[in-house]
Structure 1
């Protein structure tokens, strides 16, 4: 099964190599945490939560013992509140698999401080752009902001039924990402008009993290760093970085 994810694994490792200077910490927005108002992980040593069901037994024995980043979490709270965004520290929140799955590849020694910022249950694109915009100063303070999601997430479709819609939406997303910042922002805010948008995302929880990432880098060019169509499922997906 690991061979199935080999291209993604290589891309995640390359992303860290290309970044160069080691970050002070990573802030991750995962498609697996949403709240009524923005919540910020505040624990110094967060445990993990197995927020899935029906997986193979060994997936419930995974550990990822990375440190949290409470000082940076406090700074994130300050920035959000300065922007007029309601937010709070959650001292009990655990690492979800939207975090520990990619981080185990990126930092297998679990030695990178990391914390999560939640999405809003509303999924509103403009609100999540605003969250990213508020957090933007962290990037100048040595913090890497990562959106962990997927540009296709509809597990109800059979493999054959997902091939066309995922390719259509992925092509639309690439065109949107390559546009000038103002056009990119307008296009992404209106994402529901994209081809196959609601086929690929019955609920957009796995798309929302990209709005936060875009808000934190909305005037910077995008680069597609991963693009893959699975031979097994037919699903096409891509990753992007900004700046």
Structure 2
């Protein structure tokens, strides 16, 4: 496998875990320690283009504000979540000029981007509180794209990643934040009822690692477009609910001509969640 290109800003995929609980749950100390030790991967970057699984749109949406603040995107669960879930702070700046440049690049590539005011959702602040608690890197959050089918969504998000890849040459990291495993119902039962996630999804992790490692970007995209041909994909991402995999597709699209490397993995009650770098 070709080594990750250290002449460009990095491109990462992060499995950000189970809502706000990675920051709150005593049982998830191993997850916190895992992400903390990888914060140095972002040393020296000028800013981050950050793609969230919790923001799905038909066309790319981009945060515009220089002082975005946080958006507690699980507000509808306030009655059942601990109050601490609504007290997180993360003071990273936005970058309105970078947002404008991203929008211009996406228009050039045939997209119709939308600039808007929006705070960072938990796909951003959960991993970043752990990786960069000093909040020293400006972030422009972006949506992932929703197609009519899982495969159309995959194609659109690979293209989106390809469209922003050149920002890596200017010192900006690309991060996709979602989950290599995400069955919401199974995870909820695991957390609230102490159940174990059904076995079988680990085979999908093997597929992702194999596809990510492909050096040729066209061959990588072709392999990833076939992800639903793997039976284990339906265990890892239930049909019609693949949004947590789409940040992986963005990251893979931005990977360029280098194979991706799985640099760490966390297992929670049988659910495996992996981290990648290109």
Q: Same fold (TM over 0.5)?
A: yes
Q: Residue 171 of structure 1 aligns with which residue?
A: 206
Structure 1 gaps of 5+ residues are: none
Q: Residue 83 of structure 1 aligns with which residue?
A: 109
SS for the counterpart of 1:204 is coil
The 5 A counterparts of 1:54-65 are: 54-65=80-91
CA distance in 2, matches of 1:179, 1:163: 29
CA spacing shift, 1:183–1:4, aligned 2, 3 Å: farther
Pick aligned residue for 1:37 from 36, 59, 62: 59
CA distance in 1, matches of 2:27, 2:225: 33
Q: Residue 13 of structure 1 aligns with which residue?
A: 36
Q: Residue 148 of structure 1 aligns with which residue?
A: 177
The structure with the greater share of residues assigned to helix is 1
Pick aligned residue for 1:94 from 119, 129, 134: 119
Q: Which has the higher contact order (CA 8 A, sep 6+)?
A: 2
CA distance in 1, matches of 2:84, 2:36: 23
Give 1:151 shift. Answer: 0.9
Q: Residue 212 of structure 1 aligns with which residue?
A: 250
CA distance in 2, matches of 1:228, 1:139: 27
Pick aligned residue for 2:226 from 177, 182, 190: 190
**Residue deviations 1:201-227 (CA, integer Å, cap 9, x gap):** 120110000111111114211111112
1:24 aligns with 2:46: yes
1:137 aligns with 2:166: yes
Whether the 8 Å contact between 1:149 and 1:206 is mirrored in structure 2 is yes
CA distance in 2, matches of 1:83, 1:241: 24
Give 1:112 shift. Answer: 1.6
CA spacing shift, 1:114–1:102, aligned 2, 3 Å: same
Aligned length: 238
CA distance in 1, matches of 2:68, 2:29: 28
Runs (4+) off by over 6 Å: none
Q: Residue 146 of structure 2 aligns with which residue?
A: 121
Whether the 8 Å contact between 1:8 and 1:226 is mirrored in structure 2 is no
Of residues 38-47 and 169-178 in structure 1, the stretch that sits farther from structure 2 once superposed is 169-178
CA distance in 2, matches of 1:183, 1:134: 17
1:225 aligns with 2:266: no
Cα RMSD (Å): 1.9
TM-score after normalising by structure 2:
0.79
**Residue deviations 1:136-165 (CA, integer Å, cap 9, x gap):** 111011100000000111122254662413
SS for the counterpart of 1:220 is coil
Structure 2 gaps of 5+ residues are: 1-23
